[in-house]
């Protein structure tokens, strides 16, 4: 009896939830979310970046791009592909690693076994680091 009673209560509560969602007007909360995280430096991806997101985060951290690009710095190129998905405090490090002698991102991208577009990732990291 206890299990059946619990399932019936759960079904009733879910039905109420769905009814309230259909009857109450939706309130956009995107601006509130952006305002909440603005002080932390969290920026949203653009629509184009969101569309490319699955290709941009496919890095498997094999290190082949770092060998092909011949780059050494504070941020390794395998970390670069997923750096914008990590702590935003590290974005400055990732973007400063691209200053000065430019790594051959095209060669790094060409050697990538999963096809991560490193020039696009570098551009996103620069944009997010600039704030």
Distance of CA 96 to the CA centre of its chain: 19
Cα distance between residue 124 and residue 95, in whole Å: 10
pTM of the model: 0.52
- Confidence at residue 84, expressed as pLDDT on a 0 to 100 scale: 45
- Confidence at residue 78, expressed as pLDDT on a 0 to 100 scale: 55
- Confidence at residue 9, expressed as pLDDT on a 0 to 100 scale: 95
The distance between the two most distant Cα atoms of the chain, rounded to a whole number of Å, is: 72
- Confidence at residue 128, expressed as pLDDT on a 0 to 100 scale: 80
CA 78 → CA 44, 54, 60, 123, distances in Å? 22, 16, 8, 15
- Confidence at residue 79, expressed as pLDDT on a 0 to 100 scale: 56
- Confidence at residue 102, expressed as pLDDT on a 0 to 100 scale: 66
pLDDT in tens, 58-91: 888 777 777 676 654 445 555 555 544 444 455 4
**Domain residue ranges in the chain:** 2-130
Cα distance between residue 103 and residue 79, in whole Å: 14
Task: Pick out the chain residues at pLDDT < 70.
Answer: 1, 67, 69-103, 131
């Amino acid at each position: 009896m206890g299990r059946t009673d619990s399932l019936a209560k759960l079904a009733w509560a879910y039905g109420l939830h769905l009814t309230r969602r259909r009857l109450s007007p939706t309130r956009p909360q995107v601006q509130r979310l952006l305002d909440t995280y603005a002080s932390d430096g969290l920026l949203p991806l653009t629509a184009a970046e969101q569309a490319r997101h699955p290709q941009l985060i496919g890095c498997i951290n094999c290190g082949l791009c770092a060998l092909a690009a011949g780059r050494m710095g504070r941020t390794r190129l395998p970390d670069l592909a997923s750096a914008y998905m990590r702590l935003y405090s590290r974005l400055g490090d990732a973007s400063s690693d691209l200053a000065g002698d430019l790594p051959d991102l095209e060669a790094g991208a060409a050697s990538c076994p999963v096809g991560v577009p490193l020039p696009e990732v570098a551009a996103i990291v620069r944009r997010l680091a600039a704030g």
